A and B are shown apart, each in its own frame.
Chain A
């Protein structure tokens, strides 16, 4: 039997009837048309489905939508403010941190969340924070450099 859940996604309140066996990834993509969250594996191995749930980055493929009742969710679509990109998005774009882009939404969410909690992370801390987000294209270096540069820009 479907359950009615209420949650906030990217600062917008939603009320959705969902079957218990639907994951947060599915509801975000299929019911809310937020297609920026991807499914790369479905079992928590790759991080492509990362969203911020109640302030913490999680694999949305392993969250039941019903478990998100009452939660605050941020997806990649909620990172930019109005017209302007978040500094992390800016540096990702400028510094070559994006190749195929499939890991990018998850990567950006993990990175922005890190900078909220730790505004001046060391390289090791950046890599640690991104260790659940796999990338096959970049070798991670330009991603790490972009996060560090964003941190510098957000200082001033």
Chain B
């Protein structure tokens, strides 16, 4: 039996109570949601918070709601709810796809979108999709409230802009423009229970079905301390007519935008080669979807 260290546990009944509690605890309290990352690390002894605060009783964190043409997803919505949601599947298939790749069905039933963001793991599945979607995170503290784009949210492995005492309450995803398509591909060893060797999320917006690319977002994951833009790939795509050659060119440029390391899951050279493959493949799929979706779909 793998044991957890001792800690105190609180279930505040409202968001203000929770925020006041976390503020008082300074760094000693951590929010526990699904626990699929936090509890594993506590069992391994790599984190030892004195207090765990559960927001189980706090309202307003568990809905997926339409908002201004886009979606607002509560931070405690589980990954399987996102993967199975009709709203998400129709409007933001790239997010549904990323959600369905995470871990296993058992993990997805507990892991939350909020947890997958605040743990700031370089290989996390949801952030790349959220970044290409232009998602923003609503952070609430005892005395302040702010909205931060996911793009730029992460600072390094385990580190993000979230401050002590702040709680991630909702993720807002703006409605996509017309003729937008996206894709997420995760490369792992097995077909389930994997942490990505490399993952890529891409999104393209065309001015018209047979037109040029007016917006391109390519996010590379597991090949840098945080998810990063393949900036030279994006630059090469904007204003251009989509074609397989263009995507191949963008893909090979993307290789220069990442700084993978060799670790237990894969080697740096292989990761660079896979950035090439996955960028090319996600762009192709994003383009095919963009062509077909007048109403906007990412």
Contact = CB atoms under 8 A, between A and B. Distances in A.
Interface in B1-43: 1-9, 11, 32, 34-36, 39-40, 43
Interface in A1-56: 1, 3, 19-23, 25-26, 39, 41-45, 47, 50, 53, 56
Interface residues of B, number: 32
Interface string B25-67: 0000000101110011001100000001010100000000000
B110 A62 contact: yes
B192 A132 contact: yes
A129 B105 contact: yes
Interface string B111-146: 000000000000000000000000000000000000
A138 interface: no
Given A1-B8, A21-B5, A63 B106 contact: no
A62 B6 contact: no
Contact of B104 (A1, A3, A131): A131
A131 B35 contact: no
Nearest to A3: B9
Contacts of A132: 103-107, 192-193
Contact of B106 (A20, A26, A39, A44): A44
A30 to B, nearest CB: 9
Contact of B35 (A22, A39, A41, A67): A67
**Which of A20, A63, A110 is packed against the most chain B CB atoms within 10 Å?**
A20
A57 interface: yes
B107 A44 contact: yes
B90 interface: no
B178 interface: no
Given A1-B8, A3-B9, A63-B35, A21 B106 contact: no
B80 interface: yes
Contacts of B39: 23, 62, 64
6 A-B pairs with least C-beta separation: A132-B104, A42-B2, A20-B9, A131-B192, A132-B106, A21-B4
Interface of B: 1-9, 11, 32, 34-36, 39-40, 43-44, 52, 54, 56, 80, 103-107, 109-110, 191-193
